[in-house]
């Protein structure tokens, strides 16, 4: 099951209390106060892990609490610190304070982490209150309560390439041909109900990640179809591959314009993302190159690339182009950071 949004409650551990204790030994009957301090409570930390690709494990496990600190002991023994609770989430997870509605952090790369609730400080034992005037204090401190927070986790897939297009244009077939992803494939709309991720690594240089984004139809940005749930997964992609279907009764040119409108309504920056327009199912056409050239003129783009996800025609050229665009985008990002 794919789940890309969930709310959870996290609570850091309370600090352990300090203790009242007095040293009692054979030759030191009045050895003075020796009560130790309590240990600090454990914190709650979210960690981006490549072993996770969905938030589904938090659907039925909504409350998460770190270990509390241990109370202090006699002979100035400090209590043990509570263990931190580390919750693994998929890379690309945004963390919001659900009550305040503010973004706390974006775990947009593997191994990034965020402390979302700090453990409480341990209380002082009576030894800490001894003074020249108060040599036998019985005063202690309780541990400070740990922070509690209600969080909203929102996943935006980390993919280099996003496959977009109307339902049944062949996105699932394409991702199954170029990667190890095995999505459900059928000849009816909305076969794909969740985004699918695949890694392309077929001798094209550096591997890259492809996401099949389902459910895009006119009105998706306003909640029509499934697109309002999954448009967010397009936001992190470096290049969009727009699939068109020449066998449909719809006009592919209008399909392209409709999807582009939805992207702009959802995020005004998306239309400026590099886009590769692909004419799929060309094994059904008499002259694929001619059809692709005519489509490019109608769309006002430099080129439309003819492919067949079923037969594999045009796929090597498409993958080399995508690998090049992704590599250039990564290099530009590195230069911008430097």
* Residues 6 or more apart in contact with residue 123 via CB below 8 angstroms: 15, 16, 17, 18, 37, 38, 72, 140, 141, 142, 143, 144
In order of their start, the domains of the chain are 1-155 (2.70.210.12), 161-337 (3.40.50.300)
**Which residues lie closer than 8 Å to 141 by C-beta, 6 or more apart?**
17, 18, 38, 123, 124
Q: Are 75 and 23 in contact (CB under 8 A)?
A: yes
pTM of the model: 0.76
For residue 236, the surrounding DSSP H or E stretch is none
**Predicted local confidence at residue 225, as pLDDT:** 46
Q: How high is the pLDDT of residue 183?
A: 54
Per-residue pLDDT of the chain in tens (338 residues, 90 and over written 9): 567 789 999 999 999 999 999 988 777 767 789 999 999 999 999 999 988 878 888 988 899 999 999 999 999 999 999 999 999 999 999 999 999 999 999 998 899 999 999 999 999 999 999 998 888 899 999 999 999 999 999 988 888 998 988 888 888 889 888 887 665 554 544 444 567 778 888 656 788 888 887 766 555 444 444 455 667 778 888 999 999 999 888 899 999 998 888 888 888 888 888 999 999 999 998 899 999 999 999 999 999 999 999 999 999 999 999 999 999 988 888 888 77
Those residues whose C-beta lies under 8 Å from the C-beta of residue 94, and which sit 6 or more positions away, are 103, 105, 106, 107, 153, 154, 155, 156
**Cβ distance 199 to 183 under 8 Å?**
no
Exposure of 135 by Cβ count < 10 A (0-12 exposed, 13-18 middle, 19+ buried)? Answer: exposed
Helix, strand, coil percentages for the chain (3-state, nearest 5): 25, 20, 55
Task: Identify the pLDDT of residue 145.
Answer: 97
Residue 188, pLDDT score? 46
Does an H or E element contain 297, and which? helix 288-299
What does the pLDDT look like over 301-332, one tens digit per residue? 999 999 999 999 999 999 999 999 999 988 88
| Encoded tokens for 95 | 């963390």
């Amino acid at each position: 099951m794919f789940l890309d949004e969930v709310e959870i409650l996290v609570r850091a551990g309370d600090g352990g209390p300090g203790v009242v204790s007095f040293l009692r030994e054979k030759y030191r009957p009045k050895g003075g106060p020796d009560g130790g301090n309590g240990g600090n409570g454990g914190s709650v930390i979210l960690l981006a892990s490549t072993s996770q690709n969905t938030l589904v494990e938090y659907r039925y496990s909504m409350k998460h609490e770190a270990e509390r600190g241990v109370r202090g002991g006699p002979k100035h023994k400090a209590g043990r610190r509570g263990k931190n609770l580390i919750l693994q989430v998929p890379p690309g997870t945004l963390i919001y304070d659900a009550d305040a509605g503010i973004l706390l952090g974006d775990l947009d790369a593997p191994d990034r982490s965020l402390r979302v609730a700090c453990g409480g400080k341990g209380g002082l034992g009576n030894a800490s209150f001894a003074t020249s005037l108060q040599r036998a204090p019985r005063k202690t401190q309780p541990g400070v309560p740990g922070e509690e927070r209600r969080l909203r986790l929102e996943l935006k897939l980390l993919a280099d390439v996003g496959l977009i297009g109307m339902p049944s244009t062949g996105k699932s077939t394409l991702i199954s041909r170029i990667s190890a992803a095995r999505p459900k494939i059928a000849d009816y709309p909305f076969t794909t109900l969740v985004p699918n991720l695949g890694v392309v690594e077929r001798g094209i240089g550096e591997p890259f990640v492809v996401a099949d984004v389902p459910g895009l139809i006119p009105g998706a940005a306003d909640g029509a179809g499934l697109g309002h749930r999954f448009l967010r997964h397009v936001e992190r992609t470096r290049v969009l591959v727009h699939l068109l279907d020449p066998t449909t009764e719809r006009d592919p040119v209008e399909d392209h314009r409709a999807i582009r409108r939805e992207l702009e309504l959802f995020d005004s920056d998306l239309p400026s993302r590099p886009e590769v327009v692909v004419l799929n199912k060309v094994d059904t056409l008499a002259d694929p190159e001619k059809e692709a050239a005519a489509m490019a003129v109608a769309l006002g783009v430099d080129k439309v690339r003819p492919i067949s996800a079923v037969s594999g025609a045009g796929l090597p050229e498409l993958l080399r182009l995508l690998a090049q665009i992704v590599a250039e985008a990564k290099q530009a990002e590195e230069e911008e950071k430097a």
